[in-house]
Amino acid sequence: MSVLFDRVAFIGIGLIGSSLARVMRRDGLVREIVACARRPETLATVRELKLADRVTADPADAVAGADLVVIATPLSAYAEIGRRIGPALKAGAIVTDVGSVKGTAIRDLRPSLPETVHFVAGHPVAGTEHSGPESGFAELFDGRWCILTPLPGADAGVVEKLTKLWQATGSKVVTMGPEHHDKVLAIVSHLPHLIAYTIVDTATNLETDLQSEVIEFSASGFRDFTRIAASDPVMWRDVFLANREAVLEMLQRFTEDLTALQRAIRRGEGDKLQELFTRTRAIRRAIIEAKQA
């Protein structure tokens, strides 16, 4: 593939940012990579792993002269980053991000960005329970979705360029509105994580003797939840705060369904249980047919 950008600046370079940087390097999609991180340890790791040509702790310094700016920090840092990079952005630069919630990403970044730059928010739906630049790998996005949420009036050429970039990672790219994105992700990703965190928390609060057995016998279902519940705490704190309304709405529905199931168990309503458990099997089959399993 040919060069897509002269200079890219990563603001934040953890699991996602460093994985994207690795793809760009591997495929020669960019001439120069600049990485910006707040913590000196992160910058040292980036230097050591040669993930960037230049590192800096100053976002304004990082974005100066960049054609592409990828914001890949936790969501709570966006507003401040917007304020710091806004005046330093090159005219015509493309600004994008990789955050899991798009409504607040746009709300927090857009006001600080000058009219002369192109802003298209994005979300590669990929990740592992590990974090930090040392956890990234070029194959992370392979076969996964990347959702772009361009605003009305976005430059079609810019959307196409970002689409090419994400396609190079192996992702399938799709566009949708930011609100719709946040609703879909609330059910497929945010609620499952919330539930996983909770069940692991419930286990943590057990009497000590039971707790060690929970660890021993975890393979019987519990283990799958612990993997999800080991994801980055700061990133997930921000996701739940940023997508609060949609998450609370889905959580409400979930709680209602759980209460109905609890009632059926308490009353010994076997038929209801069996009917429900048969129904849920169909969704698994649909996922297998959609080649997502």
Residues of this chain, 108-137, that bind a second copy according to CB under 8 A: 125-127, 129
According to DSSP, the β-strands at 118-119 and 5-11 are: unpaired
Distance CA 266, CA 65 (A): 65
35 binds a second copy (CB under 8 A): no
Minimum CB distance to a second copy, residue 88 (Å): 28
Minimum CB distance to a second copy, residue 37 (Å): 19
Stretch that binds a second copy, among 55-63, 91-99, 157-165, 233-241 (CB under 8 A): 233-241
80 binds a second copy (CB under 8 A): no
Minimum CB distance to a second copy, residue 141 (Å): 11
> What is the number of other CB atoms lying within 10 angstroms of the CB of residue 165?
27
Q: Which is nearer to a second copy, 21 or 228 (CB)?
A: 228
| Size of the chain in residues | 293
Minimum CB distance to a second copy, residue 149 (Å): 14
Q: Which of 191, 196, 235, 231 is nearest to 98 (CA)?
A: 235
Half-sphere exposure of 114 (CA within 13 A, CB side): 12
39 binds a second copy (CB under 8 A): no
What 8-state DSSP symbol labels residue 186? I
Element (H, E) at 227: helix 222-228
Site string for a second copy, 186-205 (x = CB under 8 A): -xxxxxxxxxxxxxxxxxxx
Minimum CB distance to a second copy, residue 241 (Å): 6
141 binds a second copy (CB under 8 A): no
- Amino acid identity of residue 95, one-letter, is V
148 binds a second copy (CB under 8 A): no
Here the tokens at position 173 are 């790219």
Strand partners, 122: 148
End-to-end CA distance of the chain: 29
78 binds a second copy (CB under 8 A): no
Q: Which is nearer to a second copy, 26 or 227 (CB)?
A: 227
Size of the site for a second copy (CB under 8 A): 90
Mark residue 28 as left, alpha or beta (left: phi above 0; alpha: psi -120 to 50; beta: remaining): left
Among 32, 59, 220, 246, indicate the residue that binds a second copy (CB under 8 A). 220
Minimum CB distance to a second copy, residue 113 (Å): 25
26 binds a second copy (CB under 8 A): no
Distance CA 213, CA 226 (A): 15
Among 21, 108, 225, 246, indicate the residue that binds a second copy (CB under 8 A). 225
Minimum CB distance to a second copy, residue 23 (Å): 18
Distance CA 266, CA 32 (A): 63
Residues 238-267 that bind a second copy (CB under 8 A): 238, 240-241, 244, 247-248, 250-251, 253-255, 257-258, 261-262, 265-266
Distance CA 112, CA 23 (A): 29
Q: Which is nearer to a second copy, 112 or 189 (CB)?
A: 189
233 binds a second copy (CB under 8 A): yes
Distance CA 104, CA 232 (A): 19
